[in-house]
Every structure is written in structure tokens, then in C-alpha cells.
Structure 1
Amino acid sequence: MTVGCAAGDAQSYILFCDFFDRVIEAYHNHKMSKLQESDFNYDNLKGGDDFDQDYALSCEVSALRAVDDFCFPTHCSRGERRELLTLAKKAFDQLAETLPGKLYSVAEISQHPEDKGVTVIPSPFQLRTGVARDWPDSRAVWFSKDRTLVVWININDHLKLVTTRDDANIAKAFQCICVNLQKLEALYKKMRHPFIWKPQLGWVVSSPADVGTGLRARVRVKLPELSRHKRLKDILRRLRLCMDNTDCSGVYNVSNAQTIGLDEVGFMQLVVDGVQLLIRMEKRLQNEENIDDLVPLQK
């Protein structure tokens, strides 16, 4: 399911709250009367570093942020986009001592994508919604020196932090996101352009599908038997997870289905506990055993 809409700026969520609130409630199964909380204390996460490596192959954690006083990519001007890139350059320059890295324009990456390991091409959605206006002007990607962290600038949102791991240690990936997100937040506050936060919406970004935490945690898992089980859709709904195909048969990306209603640690815990349970189910099915007693109650 997709939301089919995007906000032009943070104020849109206030001015058109009758519309956006209904979209958020329907997509996230969340009551807008609740206040959103935030928790970056990664030590509160239980597990995530002990997945069975025969099943959990890799992981990724990402977080979106929007910068105050700027329109979102669907509506921002060329001047705003360039100023956002300037702010990002200043922030990464100040991070250089503790987190060395290098910033590349999308034009540079497009010339030699194999060197950077990424390809940045506007999607049909970006072209339709105006996000790709003036492409590739002021679009950039920052890579940490050790390649543990990548930050996308002016691509889908103002900022997107991504960390990936080949060992599926999602606890370490979450720690990386938490530590560096807080560093960037402090620097942007110092530059008087903090990340946008609203009590009922949490971290505000352009898509209603990502408000709240802006956090997505994905684990690439081998689930050939469970993927064919008749109760899979019900199991995922109860776990509040979604499962997407990959380019490898029997391997799926398992991630949180919502981003609002719990804090960052809460959503990470859903993914960690859910993946552990899905792997247990897969093992039983491979042994031709029943999994009905493992099906959880609604979370």
C-alpha cells in the first residue's frame, strides 16, 4: 500500500490536517490524538546482534530528516535546494575529525557509478511529483571514509541517512544511525536550521508514509518455505512487518510496516523480534512441522 500523496512543506500538515491526518491514520493504523515519542538510546534495544547467519544475510537501517525553514523537495526552489546543499557541506566539514568522509555530486557519481557502488537516477515518482526538477542540480551523496554510513542530500527528502551491513547485525547498524543522526541534529541546530519536529507527527518529512520516526529497518532473510505459507499475510500483519521480494529466489526484505506510533527503539524491537520469529517458523517448516503455536497475537 502507498499513500499516493506528498506534502509541499511542514506547514501543509497543519493547513491541510483534515486530509493528512486521515491519510496517516489509515496508512499507519495510528490515532493522531497520540503524541509521538523519540528514543535514540540504542542500548535499550534487546537483540539484533544474534540472528542465525544461515538465514539473516544482511541488513540496512535508514532515517529521513527535513530541515526547518525550507520547503520539501516536491515544492522547493532551486535556490532553497542549493542552500540545503551548502548547509550539508558545512555540517560534514565540521564532522570531518570524528567522522571523515567525502561528498560527491550526483553528476560525479553518474559519470563513474561503479566506483561509488550506487546509481542515482530519478524515479518515475520523482519525475511526476516535481522532486526531480533541475536534476541533478544540488543533489549529492556523502560517503563516510569506512563506508559504514551514506547520506543522500536533496534526493527524496532533504536528508536520508543509510547504513548497511553484510553480517545482518542490525543492532550495530541502528547504533551507527543513532550516533550520527544526533551529531548532525546538533550541527543543524547550531546553524539555526533544526530538523523539523511536531509533537503529534514526530519527525516531519515529505511523505505521510514516513512521518513519526522516519526510520526503516530492513533485514534480508532466507524464507523459502514460509513465503509460501497460507498464513503469511496474517502473520506479517500481526507482527506489524512487511516483506518484499529481492532479486534472489527465496530471499526477502523484512521491514517495519509503519513509522509512527512507537519510538525508534520500539520499531527496531518489532523488526528484531519479528525476524527472530520468522526464522524460527522457517526452520520448523523445513522440518515439516506445524507453526500454528508460534503465530503471535496482534501487537
Structure 2
Amino acid sequence: MYRRQFHRCTHSGVIFDDVIRPGLEEPGDWSAPVSVGCVAGDAQCYVLFCDFFDRVIEMHHQHEITSQTPEADFNHDNLKGSCDLDPSYAVRCEVSVVRGVDDFSFPTHCSRGERRQLLALARRALQRLPGRLHLLEELNQEQQRELNLDPPSSSLFRIGVARDWPDARAVWVSEDGRLVVRVNMEDHLRLVSTRDDADVAEAFKCVSTNLQKLEASYRELRHPFSWKQQLGWVSSSPADVGTGLRIRVHLRLQHLPGHKRLQDVLQRLRLRMATESPALHCVSNAATFGLSEVALSQLVVDGVKLLVAMETRLEGGRDIDELVPTQK
């Protein structure tokens, strides 16, 4: 595969070595969460190096790429049950979505000039939404903490995402504080809605409504979001193709995290769990490709309900075998 592709180069200058460098320099370890180990320098990478990316995408998302274009569904009224999550277990949630902008290299490869153009575009597009844009270089550390903005990791510097930091990086905050848009950080755009309850439907509604408004604005500016037939929306990471959507629910769990069948259950539910503290755990969708936006959100909501049911069983000293779902 390397011999077939090492000499190819996209219009913006991305070569195959640029794509696979993260996995070669930071191969990770078996105890860490599964990562894709590669990045796309621009949208053309998904076409020029499709032999490689298609295999990575299919294995990571556990879904076959076909000639059928992925269907979108942002109808938040179709999402059911998130208001029924037990607040004694489900304490907060976050819904985020990433988008790349056409005709620009992705953050791993873009130049300082491109990044500043992207910021100018974002400024114009976001003017149509009620809120305020803050340049990262004008925010002090306390203000950045309030907005949950962490400094870039060493790996982001190594792969080029944090190049020239914090030049042309910004964060937009809506008037009601329910939506944050990160500009030129890990991706061109990342919309995030965080709630102090587990009402995923409301967070999803906030993100999807504003995303569609932004999409229309970028189209009017003649720079639509990056989209590829058979894959859907694409950005720098193959882990985000399709929908670019992440749904995270933070759960208080005492017994289930140590259960021997937990990893099997999570795999069958197509979920991931990350430990934030001994009692607090973050559950999220493992894939973004193969299901619509509403279907992915519903998958997380239903999965969280089942995990909570398992936790209550374990609290009562009962087993969870009959609750384990059949393999999907």
C-alpha cells in the first residue's frame, strides 16, 4: 500500500507520509482507547488515498463503505427518551459536531494565511447568530478555563494542529451561553452544547439548529462544508467522518466500571466509556459513520439507560447477564 501511494500528492501538497505520521510517531499502547493513528491534511486526501482511508474508516466505525450516500437526520423531535434519564446517575451531557471548510487545508496542514482566512470567514458567518466572538490571544487563563479551553497537547504540536498557537484561534459564545463554537482549534469548526443535566435532546437541538444556519451562511460565502460522496462530512480525522457528531453523557457509577462484562457490553452497544474520577464516567458513541445524527443520539440515550439499569441491579446484589444485549 505504501509503495502504491508514497509518491502521490494532493493539490495543497499533502503526501502519504503526512497522513500516517501520527501513528508512526505515536503508536500508543494497548491499554489506551482505540485511535485511528492518521490524519487527513485536506479533503482531497480521502479521494487520493482512498485505498488506505477506506480501510481505516471501515475498521474504526465497523461499517462498510458503499455507493449509497449517508443520509442526514437533524429532526430533534425524532429523538426520544433523553428527558427520562435518572438524574441521580446521569449528571450532565455534551453534544458536539465538527466541520471542515471546503477549499482550505485541514489544521494539520494549513498555513498561517489560510488559518486567518478561515477566521475571517467564521467571523462573517457567526455575525448572523446572536453571540460574541473572542480571539484566543485576548483571553486570559481564567477566561479560558471558564470556557473549558485547554492548552494544546504535545501531540497537537507534533502533528501541526497547534502550529502558530494562538494565532487566528477563536471561540464564539452564544448570548444564552448554551452554544460554543471553536474556530481553528482541533478542527476548522467545532460546535459544542453542554448542559448541567442529561437532556441530550435539548443539547442536540441547540447544535443541529445552529449548525444548519451556519451551513447556509458558509454556502452563501461560497465556502461550503467539506463533504464527500459515500463518506458524508469529512474533517481532519477519519474518526469523525460521516456525521462528525459526538454525544457524551457523564454518569455516576460505582459498581459497573469494575464488572468483568463491561467491555463486552460497551462493544455491543457501540459505546465507549472514559473514567474522569473514581465515581464519574463519560459514555459516548464509538462511531460517527453509518448512522444518521438522530440515530446516533438515540443509540447513546438507549445505551445509557441500559447501563443505568445494570448499575441499579448491581447495587441490589443481582447479576446483569439477562440485560446484556445480543451482539449487533
The TM-score normalised by the length of structure 1 is 0.95
1:29 matched residue in structure 2? 62
Distance 1:219 1:285 in 2: 20
Which sections of structure 2, spanning at least 5 residues, go unmatched?
1-33
Moved over 4 A (4+): none
Distance 1:32 1:138 in 2: 35
2:291 matched residue in structure 1? 262
CA contact (8 A) 1:109 1:116 kept: no
Distance 1:6 1:199 in 2: 19
1:52 matched residue in structure 2? 86
CA contact (8 A) 2:144 2:150 kept: no
1:294 matched residue in structure 2? 323
SS at match of 2:186: coil
AA in 2 matched with 1:65: R
2:223 matched residue in structure 1? 193
For the pair 1:272 / 2:301, whether they are aligned, the reply is yes
CA contact (8 A) 1:109 1:119 kept: no
2:135 matched residue in structure 1? 105
For the pair 1:81 / 2:110, whether they are aligned, the reply is no
RMSD: 1.2
CA contact (8 A) 2:115 2:184 kept: yes
For the pair 1:20 / 2:20, whether they are aligned, the reply is no
Distance 2:257 2:145 in 1: 35
Displacement after TM superposition at 1:79 (Å):
1.1
The TM-score normalised by the length of structure 2 is 0.87
Distance 1:298 1:12 in 2: 34
SS at match of 1:209: helix
> What is the aligned length?
294
1:139 matched residue in structure 2? 169
CA contact (8 A) 1:157 1:206 kept: yes
2:196 to 166, 175, 189: 166
Distance 2:49 2:107 in 1: 18
AA in 2 matched with 1:193: H
User: Structure 1 vs Structure 2: percent identity of aligned residues?
Assistant: 60
2:260 matched residue in structure 1? 230
Mark the CA change 1:58 to 1:157 in structure 2 (over 3 Å): closer, same or farther: same
Which sections of structure 1, spanning at least 5 residues, go unmatched?
none
Higher RCO (Cα < 8 Å, 6 or more apart): 1
SS at match of 2:240: coil
Matches within 5 A, 1:58-69: 58-69=92-103
Mark the CA change 1:181 to 1:236 in structure 2 (over 3 Å): closer, same or farther: same
SS at match of 1:143: strand
2:125 to 81, 86, 91: 91
Distance 1:267 1:202 in 2: 15
Mark the CA change 1:115 to 1:229 in structure 2 (over 3 Å): closer, same or farther: closer
Displacement after TM superposition at 1:112 (Å):
4.0
Distance 2:134 2:84 in 1: 35
Distance 1:252 1:135 in 2: 31
For the pair 1:252 / 2:281, whether they are aligned, the reply is yes
Encode CA deviations 1:62-112: one digit per residue, 9 max, x unaligned.
Answer: 0000011111011111111111100111011122xxxx2111111122454
